[in-house]
Chains A and B, each alone.
Chain A
Amino acid sequence: MENLFNLFVRSIFIDNMIFAYFLGMCSYLAVSKTVKTSIGLGVAVIFVLLITAPVNWLVDTYMLKEGALAWLSPELADLDLSYLSFMIFIAVIAAMVQLVEMAVEKFSPSLYNALGIFLPLIAVNCAILGVALFVQEREYSTIGEVTTYAVGSGVGWFLAIVSLAAIREKIRYSHVPKPLRGLGIAFILTGLMAIAFMSFMGIKI
């Protein structure tokens, strides 16, 4: 339990998806003009990560890893399908996003109207595939760990996009040099925020 809590805090602050790994940057810069839309996208990302990361971990553990197919029959025990993982992961993510979209549309039309435009965008958000690949690389061993890491990463991403959107709303009233307006200053702001977040690295938990 303590271990999971540490992992959760680490994935939000220290291994932050945006500030430490730059994942999901495209939508992060494009949708961070107002706080309201960025909250919608952030929630959608947490939601999709919560579903896709455990599913991808299950697929990896029971189908793709070396010897993962041993539960089917002993002859398949020495098969290693891990070279297929990119394609399977992205297919799972795209399918899950489609399913989530349908489910949300059916059960909560108001949420669908809030998230509707963002859900398809998320299928090609690097952060989602990135989490699946990091889980594979770091060899997390239980589904609890994987889910915690996924939600933590999602919350970290949410935190990053909402903070940037808040700053960008304020910066409209500042005198930014003309060539830096918009994209340029957003990059530099993100860099400054990343430096601020680096202060969490010293914390031993």
Chain B
Amino acid sequence: MSTDNSIKVKDPWFSAKNLKLLRNPFNMENPITVQVLGICSALAVTVQMKPAIVMALSVTIVTGFSNLIIALLRDTIPSRIRIIVQLVVVAALVIIVDQVLKAYVYDVSKKLSVFVGLIITNCILMGRLEAFAMANKPWPSFIDGIGNGLGYGLILVIVAFFREFLGSGKIYGFDVIPQSFYDAGYVNNGLMILPPMALMTIGVIIWVQRSKNPDLQEKN
């Protein structure tokens, strides 16, 4: 980052505009509940908190760096082959993440199975690359990628929290419901562990969010 005496005044690194890019995906521009991107992998990894958090971090890293790389290359990529170039950049990053997961958290990487590979076709990546990184400077693009990854991660962690807490009485693998409750007749809700409840939980999250922000509501 050289500070040459260019005509344009450079934004400070954490200017209000850049912070807004980081904050927006958490609510008004959430990738999952508003932009409808990246649902494919969002649901299958939310039975427990641990895989969900690992997945969220992996996606955040890949979105951030792929946005950065594409923003750096965007003037040199011919527009006809840009999809392939984007996919190759993303695939390379995903391979790195996958190898790191296999090396350090092998049990989690087994649980995530094919879903790490499916980060490649995660619509958040292509969506943000097309919509933002192809038209903006590297640093804002990086911030945008990180923000969207974290916005995605937020939904993942909320869904995983409810599914693990209600489904198996645990949070991040630790028992939180005392034995006396079970003795008194409390039973874990086995339905929450099953795939359909992930969809329902996201539906309820959307319901809550759109009740709070009426301008997000659709006509029909």
Contact = CB atoms under 8 A, between A and B. Distances in A.
B49 interface: no
Nearest to B116: A86
B114 interface: yes
Given A24-B40, A134-B114, A198-B194, A172 B220 contact: yes
A187 interface: yes
Question: Which size bracket describes the interface of B in this complex?
Answer: 35 or more
Nearest to A97: B83
A21 interface: yes
Interface in B60-97: 83-84, 87-88, 91-92, 94-95
A25 B126 CA distance: 15
Interface string A120-135: 1001111111100110
A79 interface: no
B148 interface: no
Contacts of A205: none
Contacts of B87: 90-91, 94, 123-124
B88 to A, nearest CB: 7
Given A22-B39, A26-B39, A86-B95, A179 B196 contact: no
Interface stretch (B4-12, B21-29, B210-218): B210-218
Given A180-B207, A181-B219, A22 B43 contact: yes
Interface string B185-210: 00000000011111110110011111
Given A94-B84, A185-B203, A129 B218 contact: no
A22 B33 CA distance: 16
B192 to A, nearest CB: 12
Contact of A187 (B113, B120, B203, B220): B203
Contacts of A144: none
B203 A23 contact: no
Given A129-B120, A184-B207, A185-B203, A84 B195 contact: no
Contacts of B122: 126
B121 A129 contact: yes
The number of chain A residues touching the other chain, given as a range, is 35 or more
Main secondary structure of the interface of B (DSSP, over half): helix
Interface in B24-45: 33, 36-44
A191 interface: yes
Contacts of A123: 83, 87
Contacts of B38: 26
B117 A129 contact: yes
B36 A87 contact: no
Given A21-B44, A179-B217, A183-B206, A84 B95 contact: yes
A103 interface: no
A129 to B, nearest CB: 5
Contacts of B101: none
B123 A191 contact: no
A192 to B, nearest CB: 7
A128 B40 CA distance: 12
Nearest to A136: B114
Given A26-B40, A182-B220, A183-B36, A19 B196 contact: yes
Nearest to A187: B203
B121 A22 contact: no
A24 B211 CA distance: 28
27 contacts: A22-B43, A22-B44, A25-B39, A25-B40, A25-B42, A26-B123, A83-B98, A86-B91, A87-B88, A87-B91, A90-B121, A126-B118, A129-B118, A130-B118, A134-B114, A176-B220, A180-B206, A180-B210, A182-B217, A182-B218, A182-B219, A184-B207, A187-B199, A188-B200, A190-B199, A191-B197, A195-B194
Given A126-B123, A191-B200, 16 more contacts: A25-B42, A25-B43, A26-B38, A86-B94, A90-B87, A91-B84, A124-B123, A126-B41, A126-B121, A130-B114, A177-B207, A178-B210, A180-B203, A181-B217, A191-B196, A198-B194
